[in-house]
Amino acid sequence: MWSGRFREPLDTSFEQWQRSFPVDWRLLPMEVDASIAHARMIGAAGILTADELSRMIAGLEAVGALEMSESEFHNQNSPSVRSISEAEDIHHFVELELTREIGDLALKLHTGRSRNEQIATDMRLYILGCIETTLAGLNNWASALLDLADDAGEAVMPSYTHLQRAEPVLVSHWLLAYVSMIERDMSRLNDCKDRMNYCPLGSGAIAGATLALDRTIAARSLGFSGPTLNSMDATSDRDFALEFTQVLSVLGLHISRFAEELTLFSTAEFGFLDLPEAFSTGSSAMPQKKNPDLTELIRGKSGRLIGAATALSVLIKGLPLAYNKDLQEGQEPVFDASNTVLGILNVLPAFTRSLRFRYDRMAAAASTGYLNAMAGATYLSNKGVPFRKAHEQIGNAVRFGLESGRELDALKLDELKQFGDQFSEDFYEAISIGATLDCHDVIGGTARRQVRTALEGAKRRIEADAASRPQKSEKLV
Ligand code: ARG
């Protein structure tokens, strides 16, 4: 590719070690598409005749159709794909294979382009594809959560602050919290897609192509919004990869929190759910065990995602403009992070759908431990007692209850009245489970009618999003 000015051959172990082909073979479809787009651009600039352009495109399509498995890409002795042993990277590979397909005409393809713009383009195309698959997977997970929320009806559970029981909430309200996170993740993915949707082709090695190329041809042919606006930035920018992995790491944190809650809720101590057997494992030592491997593994994998985003930040920090070979190291974290997320999203929706909550245990946990104390204070403040005083009066009632081992609703009215004048018969209704939920009657609150509205809204948005996707694929990787 570049040996003209060299007198000595490369040291063989260095040559092998600096190759990126063992990693970037995944970019074959993107490299082929980008090469076709470049061919169209140099065709329009008069470098290729119409006939040469169509032969070149046919040759590239043949290279793109090479059916190779991962193991074949690592097989330097592959009988069918001979260039594997020679290829330094995916760009080199495609040129070598194209030469085998169409002969010397292939050597014209590199007119007016550089691998620096190619890798920047291929990686953008790769990530844009991953974003679509991730969005489809997230939609699938959100709809699994919405189905669970539907099934939960008016089931209640305790909510926690500081991991101490706080107030009762609807189980569906808790599930909808994760749908909110997913919707933000989807919006972040869409944002980063919009920002990365510009085509580096035509940027050359650093200063722009040395031919008067119409860069909009390549941008349009690859489905980008337009060409990038600065050649130095375009060839060295990896914000798109950084942002993508950062978005995935935030998504990983959400999934990890869900995984942690389920791990906790499935313990005998909580007993809020039985782990689905199809997604759990046993212990080789302790016969009685059923372990939450799926949720634990997910929690662990979120660390990998943060690792990918961190690796890219550290890689980019301090790189002078423009291209530096360090950037080659930016590929693996992207591939690893996207495979990790797609792997998770392959199992998480089905796992979520198979969850069966023990609503009786959840309800029992929500009706003990004075979770209606806040509703009690609200009752008093609705009767004109300043909230600070109401808080104290209910606090006194709780202490009184604790001393005699009774919940607030088991205290007699004359016992309550010693803490404040405003207690009357309707207090008991005001601290019932229904009233305790319904006093949170604000947008985003756990009042039953608010949650019904929230659930309908989320379903509408998630269904509309699903309908806007090209097709729903069950298998993501
Ligand atoms: N394999 C290289 C990479 O991934 C392609 C770009 C090489 N450019 C260069 N000037 N050596 O970064």
**Residue labelled with tokens 């920002």:** 195
pLDDT beyond 90 at 121: yes
When comparing pLDDT for 294 and 10, which is higher? Answer: 294
Ligand 1 midpoint to CA 384 (Å): 72
> Mean pLDDT over all residues of the chain?
94
Instruction: Give, using CA atoms, the residue closest to atom 2 of ligand 1.
Output: 328
Instruction: Give, using CA atoms, the residue closest to atom 10 of ligand 1.
Output: 116
When comparing pLDDT for 173 and 281, which is higher? Answer: 173
Ligand 1 midpoint to CA 419 (Å): 76
Which domains, from first to last, does the chain contain?
A: 12-111 (1.10.275.10), 116-204+229-364+456-468 (1.20.200.10), 373-431 (1.10.40.30)
When comparing pLDDT for 37 and 275, which is higher? Answer: 37
Ligand 1 midpoint to CA 28 (Å): 15
pLDDT for the residue numbered 68? 72
Say what the pTM is: 0.93
* CB crowding 408-435: b at 16 or more within 10 Å, else e: beebeeeebeebbebbeeebbebbebeb
Ligand 1 midpoint to CA 76 (Å): 21
Determine whether 91 is an active site residue: no
Ligand 1 midpoint to CA 91 (Å): 9
Instruction: Give, using CA atoms, the residue closest to atom 12 of ligand 1.
Output: 328
What span, in angstroms and rounded, lies between the C-alpha atoms of 439 and 429? 12
User: Which of these, 99, 107, 93, lies nearest to 31 by C-alpha position?
Assistant: 93
- Among 3, 13, 71, 162, the active-site one is 162
Ligand 1 midpoint to CA 203 (Å): 14
What span, in angstroms and rounded, lies between the C-alpha atoms of 79 and 37? 30
- Once rounded to an integer, what is the mean pLDDT over residues 367-393? 94
pLDDT tens-place string over residues 321-357: 999 999 999 999 999 999 999 999 999 999 999 999 9
Q: Which amino acid is at 240?
A: F
pLDDT beyond 60 at 473: no
Which residue of 325, 329, 331, 335 sits with most ligand 1 atoms within 8 Å of its CB, as the best mutation to test the pocket? Answer: 325
pLDDT band for position 79 (50/70/90)? low
Instruction: Give, using CA atoms, the residue closest to atom 11 of ligand 1.
Output: 325
Return the percent helix, strand and coil in the chain, to nearest 5.
Answer: 65, 5, 30
Which residue of 3, 27, 89 sits with most ligand 1 atoms within 8 Å of its CB, as the best mutation to test the pocket? Answer: 89
pLDDT tens-place string over residues 186-232: 999 999 999 999 999 999 999 999 999 999 999 999 999 999 999 99
Atom of ligand 1 nearest to the CA of 325: 12
Q: Which of these ranges, 137-141, 289-293, 360-364, 445-449, has the smallest mean pLDDT?
A: 289-293
pLDDT beyond 60 at 410: yes
pLDDT beyond 80 at 80: no
When comparing pLDDT for 1 and 244, which is higher? Answer: 244
pLDDT band for position 82 (50/70/90)? confident
What span, in angstroms and rounded, lies between the C-alpha atoms of 137 and 131? 10
pLDDT for the residue numbered 74? 74
Q: Which of these ranges, 66-70, 180-184, 385-389, has the smallest mean pLDDT?
A: 66-70
For residue 424, give Cα distances in angstroms to 371, 393, 401, 460: 20, 14, 17, 43
Q: Determine contact, residues 407/393, Cβ cutoff 8 Å.
A: no
pLDDT beyond 60 at 1: yes
Atom of ligand 1 nearest to the CA of 323: 10
Q: How many CB atoms lie within 10 A of CB 399?
A: 11
pLDDT for the residue numbered 5? 80
pLDDT beyond 50 at 477: no
- Among 80, 283, 424, 473, the active-site one is 283
- The binding-site residues of ligand 1, defined as CB within 6 angstroms of any ligand atom, are 20, 89, 115-116, 119, 323, 325, 327-328
Q: Which of these ranges, 84-93, 361-370, 463-472, has the smallest mean pLDDT?
A: 463-472
Atom of ligand 1 nearest to the CA of 115: 6
Determine whether 284 is an active site residue: no
